[in-house]
Amino acid sequence: MAAIFKKQRLKLGDSIFNAVNIFLMALVFIFCAYPFYHCIMLSFNDGLDAASGNIYLIPRMFTLDNYQAVFRSQYLWSAFLVTMARTVIGTVLGVLLNAMMGYALMKKELKFRKIYITIGIITMYFYGGIIPLYLLVNAMGLIDHFSVYILLNLYGFFNVIVFMSFFKTIPVSLMESAKIDGANEFVIFRKIILPVSTPVLATIALFIGVHHWNNWLDPFLFTSKPELKTLPIILMEMINKSLADQLAMSSGKMAIAEHIGVTGNSVQLAAMTVAVVPIMAVYPFLQKYFAKGLMLGSVKG
Amino acid sequence: MFSKNDISRRRFRFDTNQAILQVMALLGITWFLVFIFTPYYGLTLAFREYDFARGFFGSPWIGFQYFKEIFTDPEIPNAFINTLAISVLKLLICFPAPIILALLLNELPGKRFKSLVQTVSYFPHFISWVIISLIAIYWLSPDIGIINKALMSLHLVGAPITPLTDAGSYWIVAVISEVWKETGWGAIIYIAAITGIDETLYEAASVDGISKIGKIIYITIPGISGTILILLLLNIGSLLSNANFDQSYFMGNAMNYDRSNILDTYVLKVGVSLGRFSYATAVGLLKSLISLVLLLGSNIACRKLFGRTLYMEEED
């Protein structure tokens, strides 16, 4: 009797726990998804109308004017293309180079391996700072060059470590049999290692790609040409403006508020959407690899 | 294992492959030496008076003058306190949050819902602070911001809150926005660790009539305690970077400067806006040295506890 009673109480306890848990996780879902949804949805609404508030799920006055205003600006088009170019070039090069380094460093027979790994780890521990980096970039004549975006971000030792840890889990027999067939290390890397490493390649590609897409410090520090501006820089400039608007409005000094395009705010939202949607577009395809690609590496390394 | 043919060709083949591997590694090593190690030498700028006309090598040595200035600069104590306070607050709140999320996610019935929540929860990690601060400005706007609408309609506040421009609120804003952005991402590693726990332990517990909460306390948490400890040490090792340069730069503004100005943003302001290269380098160097001490400390702790360094499992 008592045992049954206890079991029932247990079941009840677990059910309450489940219900609370589902509720909490639903909240997490809403908290993480809704802010993006809300801002993107508002970017399709008339700016002046949106300023009166109370729009939560669907646009009240649907319009594409905000996007027209955004893309009418030549800056934004060029910023979009520059950002896209650095992201694609930077990601392809970055993934290949970091993977190659990870493969080489994984090999025990690599001479000076310990020294190389030590050098790599030091770079994770200690950072020279922006002024010394600026002096270096300046000395190399890279100021106001597109290549600065690519060159400065080619490697990251964290990525190399993730590659190393993943490659370690690939059965040695795969590589050995290829070796017996006379394949050299580069052929093995290209023909055997890369094809079975989709999870880690996708994961690191997303890391590097997002880094390039979001990076603002490189253009901020190393370029001044308007044609080298990137999306984050445009957004930065817009945010500074918006905050001025906000402050002006909340303190009642409407005269200071300065509007660009449709309304300052709605153009901002449209520009933000332009910056977020590409990440949203590739994210579902790449995120499913995180589990395999990152966990193996990070739990161990 | 080896045929005669193999052994006779072995030496030559070994060299080719060694050369290929060396090229693969050295491409990267060269990059690290040029782009990370050369700036280390550039740090000597902290001991020189930067001369814009004559450049780095023409700048005269002046010793510790700029380090002395650090201790008399009235902005430094403030920037240091902000850096430390935000970092510690985040250690206390942003560090445990992913553990809790992982434990709850793991107990979620229904695989679909679980992976949906998980996928969405780490999406904000990939969005830059520029955009996050833009969203924050909208959501906290006094007139149309959703948060203010909600708080007002629930009668939790009488007047709209303006945490982005209240000097006193920045630390709270920093912690909450960081929790929102990074908790889902941080949970991944714990979820991975949980999947590594032996299933039979849970089955045995079910037979013994242990509740879900009991299983979390007696099986799951002990099962991931090693991971928690390592990540805690990693977090302490990089404590000062918790203050988050990007976040402070974009969430910070003239109104909350006294609370949002951290050492990194101060370096940017002094170095880039004011053009005081040498002094900015000195401030950055001092911060890096403090970080290095923290990191070496937690590395020693890690070696004592686990017999490995923080970043590398094997020491061969």
pLDDT per residue as tens digits for the range B12-62: 445 789 999 999 999 999 999 999 999 999 999 999 999 888 888 889 999
Residue B57 backbone phi and psi in degrees, to 5:
-75, -20
Contacts of A113 in chain B (CB under 8 A): 25
Nearest CA among B110, B194, B154 for reference residue A19: B110
Q: How far is B30 from chain A (nearest CA, A)?
A: 10
The more confidently predicted of residues B143 and B294 is B294
Q: Are B187 and B98 in contact (CB under 8 A)?
A: yes
Kindly list the residues from chain B whose CB atom is less than 8 angstroms away from the CB atom of residue A129. Answer: 39, 42-43, 267, 280-281, 284-285, 288
Output the CA angle B63-B64-B65, nearest 5 degrees.
100
Q: What is the pTM of this model?
A: 0.89
B176 vs B163: CA distance, rounded Å: 11
Pick the closest to residue A284 from A208, A215, A213, A202 (CA basis): A202
B275 and chain A in contact, CB less than 8 A: no
Model pLDDT, residue A54:
84
Looking at this predicted complex, what is its ipTM? Answer: 0.88
Measured between CA atoms, how close is B20 to chain A, in angstroms? 7
Token pair listed for B10 = 């072995």
**How much is the pLDDT for A52?**
80
Q: Which of A281, A41, A22 is nearest to B116 (CA)?
A: A22
Cβ atoms within 10 Å of B81's Cβ, excluding its own:
12
DSSP chain A: -HHHHHHHHHHHHHHHHHHHHHHHHHHHHHHHHHHHHHHHHHTTB-HHHHTT----SS-SSB-SHHHHHHHHSHHHHHHHHHHHHHHHHHHHHHHHHHHHHHHHHH-TT-TTHHHHHHHHHHHHH----HHHHHHHHHHTT-TT-THHHHHTTS--HHHHHHHHHHHHTS-HHHHHHHHHTT--HHHHIIIIIGGG-HHHHHHHHHHHHHHHHH--HHHHHH---GGG--HHHHHHHHHHHHHHHHHHHHTT-GGG----SS-HHHHHHHHHHHHHHHHHHHHHHHHTTHIIIIIHHHHH-
Range from A232-241, A268-277, B92-101, B227-236 carrying the lowest mean pLDDT: A232-241
pLDDT at B312: 61
Please name the residues between 110 and 149 in chain A that touch chain B, using a CB distance below 8 Å. 110-111, 113-114, 116-117, 119-121, 123-136, 139
Nearest Cβ partner for B42 among A108, A136, A275: A136
Taking CB atoms and an 8 Å limit, are B211 and A13 in contact across chains? yes
User: Using a CB-CB distance cutoff of 8 angstroms, which residues of chain B are in contact with residue A127?
Assistant: 36, 288
Q: Residues B297-312: what's their mean pLDDT?
A: 81
Mean pLDDT is highest, among A140-154, A270-284, B199-213, for A140-154
Q: Do A276 and B123 touch (CB under 8 A)?
A: no
pLDDT-derived band at B160 (thresholds 50, 70, 90) equals confident
**DSSP structure class, residue B73:** -
pLDDT at A255 over 50: no
Alpha-carbon torsion angle A128, A132, A136, A137, nearest 10: 100
pLDDT at residue B1, rounded to an integer: 46
Distance, CA of B128 to CA of B151 (rounded, Å): 27
* Beta-bridge mates of residue B55: B51
In the structure, what pLDDT confidence band is assigned to residue A2 with cuts at 50, 70 and 90?
Answer: low
pLDDT for position B13? 47
Confidence class for position A254, pLDDT limits 50, 70, 90: very low
DSSP secondary structure string for all residues of A112-136: THHHHHHHHHHHHH----HHHHHHH
CB < 8 Å from B in window 20-39 of A: 21-22, 24-26, 28-29, 31-33, 35-36, 38-39
Is the Cβ pair A128, B42 closer than 8 Å? yes
The stretch B54-75 carries a mean pLDDT of 92
pLDDT band at A298 (very low <50, low <70, confident <90, very high): very low
Q: Please provide the average confidence, as pLDDT, over all residues in chain A.
A: 85
Give the whole-angstrom CA distance, residue B280 versus residue A132. 10
Number of Cβ atoms within 10 Å of the Cβ of B15:
10
Nearest to B144 by CA among A265, A23, A2, A289: A265
Which residues, 6 or more positions from A274, have their beta carbon under 8 angstroms from its beta carbon? A67, A70, A76, A80, A231
**Residues B103-122, buried b or exposed e (16+ Cβ, 10 A)?**
bbbbbbeeeeebeebbbbbb
pLDDT at position B63 is: 92
Quick check: A151 pLDDT over 60? yes
Read out DSSP for A50-106? Answer: HTT----SS-SSB-SHHHHHHHHSHHHHHHHHHHHHHHHHHHHHHHHHHHHHHHHHH
Kindly list the residues from chain A whose CB atom is less than 8 angstroms away from the CB atom of residue B28: 97-98, 100-101, 120, 155, 160
Contact: B292, A125; criterion CB under 8 Å: yes
Q: Which has more pLDDT, B5 or B48?
A: B48
Overall residue count recorded for chain A in this entry: 301
pLDDT digits (tens, 9 = 90+) for A64-86: 888 887 777 777 889 999 999 99
The span from the CA of A248 to the CA of A239, in Å, is 14
pLDDT for the residue A261: 37
Mean pLDDT of B267-292: 92
Decide: residue B247, CB within 10 A, 0-12 exposed, 13-18 middle, 19+ buried: buried
Partner B, chain A 69-108, Cβ-Cβ below 8 Å: 97-98, 100-101, 103-105, 107-108
Residue B11 has a CB neighbour count (10 Å cut-off) of 8
β partners of residue A45? A62
Cα–Cα distance between B316 and B312 in angstroms, integer? 10
Rounded average pLDDT over B191-216: 91
